[in-house]
Structure 1
Amino acid sequence: MNRSNPVVVVVDDSPSVKSLFEHSTASLGVELKTFSSAASSLAYLNSQKPALLFLNIIMPDKDGLTFLRELRGNPLHEDTAVIMISSKDYAQDRHAAWELGALEFISKPMPMQAITEAVKKHIS
């Protein structure tokens, strides 16, 4: 893919979510990078700032809110555009996500349209 295309990163341990993002973003002119855990995404995110980052809250190695809190401590990611995703729609998670600067919170199961609209909205 062309290097000038905006990069969208997805950190989620579900293979079906990865597939959903691949299908949802295929025609949007973005480069999609997927990682199955916070740890596996760290090498990339320590040196690169994506145009948009989707973070799952519930992951086996580290929850997405804790990971986002850590990312916000890195000057590279103080203002990275982040959308939280989760199969659990808890008010306290939504509140914590907003406090950490998340732009949106999308509940699973996510329709393709929700992903497509979020990418279009936040990548201009």
Structure 2
Amino acid sequence: MGTEAPTVVLVDNSPAIKKLFQRSIKDLGIELKIFDTAADSWNYLKDNQPDLLFLSIILPDKNGLSLLKDLRKHTLHQNTSVIMVSSKDYAQDKLDAVELGVVDFITKPMPIQMITDVVIKYTANTSN
């Protein structure tokens, strides 16, 4: 397929988090897609597999863990690398996320360098 840029999807309705992600990966040569709601992200994700998906637990229309459960039912997303993002540091959320195969769990707010490091870590070998 050539040298396509890795794709990272962020599903989070926080303007501050969206801006933080945009700033943190702007120089990495990565395509960033941002969605505010589970429904908007589903319209994209039903036909596309990103290299990395950041998914907020708290969304306006659906719990992020519930969205992830739905995504895992589809062949396209059974192995998608997912990082859960939450302002709450609840043990049960982390356990549920691990059961759904997430690769990491990040508690907001997170430093910009953490986002950059995590994106590099999980997209380093994905460009085709």
Do Structure 1 and Structure 2 share a fold, with TM-score over 0.5? yes
1:42 shift after superposition: 1.0
Match of 1:17 in 2: 17
1:104 shift after superposition: 0.4
1:106 and 2:128 aligned: no
Q: Which amino acid counterpart does residue 73 of structure 2 have in structure 1?
A: G
State the TM-score, normalizing by the size of structure 1: 0.96
Give the Cα separation in 2 of the matches to 1:11 and 1:20: 13
Hey, which bits of structure 1, 4+ residues long, moved more than 4 A? none
Give the Cα separation in 2 of the matches to 1:72 and 1:28: 28
1:110 shift after superposition: 1.1
Q: Which amino acid counterpart does residue 12 of structure 1 have in structure 2?
A: D
How many residues align? The count is 123
1:56 shift after superposition: 0.1
Pairing 1:111-122 to 2, within 5 Å after superposition: 111-122=111-122
Give the Cα separation in 2 of the matches to 1:63 and 1:45: 16
Give the Cα separation in 2 of the matches to 1:77 and 1:13: 22
Give the Cα separation in 2 of the matches to 1:104 and 1:113: 16
Match of 1:91 in 2: 91
Higher RCO structure (Cα 8 Å, ≥6 apart): 2
Gaps of 5+ in 1: none
Give the Cα separation in 2 of the matches to 1:114 and 1:21: 10
Give the Cα separation in 1 of the matches to 2:15 and 2:38: 15
Match of 2:46 in 1: 46
CA RMSD of aligned residues (A): 1.2
1:15 shift after superposition: 1.1
**Identity of matched residues, %:** 54
